[in-house]
Amino acid sequence: MRNLPTSPCTIAKTSRLLCVHAAALLLVVLMCSGGSSAYSVLTHEELVDLVWADQIRPLLLKRYPSLSEDQIKEAHAYAYGGADYGARAGYVGYNNISVTKTPAIPPNAANPAGDSATTTTTFKVNQIGGYGSPFANNSGCQKELPPSNSLGSPTSSPFTPSNGSGCAGDTRVIQEGTLGFWYKFYQGPKGGFRLGIQYSYFAKNGWSGNNNVAGAPGLAPKAVDNMIWTAIRYYIP
């Protein structure tokens, strides 16, 4: 057997060499790794499995100490929710100046005289602004228009959403709630199967606006989405 040198200088050189090799290997791995995609909807269900042993299971045994091991593993249920609120910060009374320049158009068959370049200055007073202004225009928020190019070109993007007009739509609050469960309906020597069902409620509420019409009621846009997912998993024994 060959004896390796063990002097302090040799050990230090060897350690530095290993560090350089490790750093180079880490750099190669980071450069070759692919992008990370966003969480899927079923990731919410997987989170239950990730925290089951360390957090959820001890709480269940503390609350129901007589549960057997089979009863604990038979079904998992979960529920959570949250909201994000955006405060209103609207204001009025400021002045707005816009300048529009039009380039010159040379004479042509349709317009023999041509057009000279123009500059138009527009001055507006007592304008509204800010976030969630009570004077914002939300009159078009209740209208759902068809996709902008559903009947035209390009045909490669037939479902491009249209841009609605007259909808400031500043968000007041976004709410989301989820509940679901996992049920172990089979467990055998070759593995086990789990059935999962999840329901999620999503709501987006906007700040109201009356389009700066004195005495007019404010229109507050709102959108709600109810979602249900199902999954079946196979667990290797």
104 and 205 in a single domain? The answer is: no
The amino acid that residue 47 corresponds to is L
Mean pLDDT of 38-63: 69
178 and 213 in a single domain? The answer is: yes
Output the pLDDT for position 92. Answer: 79
With H, G, I as helix, E, B as strand and everything else as coil, classify residue 168. coil
Residue 185 covered by a domain: yes
Output the pLDDT for position 45. Answer: 55
Sheet bearing 191-206, strands edge to edge: 75-85, 171-188, 191-206, 222-235
78 and 115 in a single domain? The answer is: no
Residue 15 covered by a domain: no
The total domain count for the chain is 2
Residue 75 covered by a domain: yes
Question: 68-114 pLDDT, tens per residue?
Answer: 877 776 667 788 899 999 999 888 777 878 889 988 888 888 888 88
What sign has the CA pseudo-torsion 129, 132, 136, 141? Answer: positive
Residue 59 scores a pLDDT above 70: yes
Question: 19-34 pLDDT, tens per residue?
Answer: 555 555 555 555 554 5
Question: 139-169 pLDDT, tens per residue?
Answer: 888 777 776 655 555 555 556 666 667 888 8
Q: Residue 48 — very low, low, confident or very high, per pLDDT cuts 50/70/90?
A: low
Residue 66 scores a pLDDT above 50: yes
46 and 61 in a single domain? The answer is: yes
Question: 203-217 pLDDT, tens per residue?
Answer: 999 999 988 887 888
| Calpha distance 99→29 (Å, rounded) | 53
Domain ranges, residue 76: 41-87+170-235
Query: Considering the chain, what is the average pLDDT of its residues?
Result: 77
Report CA-CA distances (Å) from 110 to 55, 90, 104, 116.
78, 48, 15, 15
Residue 37 scores a pLDDT above 60: no
Residue 103 covered by a domain: yes
Residue 163 covered by a domain: no
Length of the chain: 237
Domain final residue, candidates 131, 153, 184: 131
Could you write out the DSSP letters of every residue in 157-191? -TTPPP--SS----EEEEEEEEEEEEEEEEEETTE
pTM for this model (two decimals):
0.55
Residue 4 covered by a domain: no
83 and 94 in a single domain? The answer is: no
Residue 92: which residues within 8 A CB-CB, separation 6 or more? 126, 127, 128, 129, 133, 135
113 and 75 in a single domain? The answer is: no
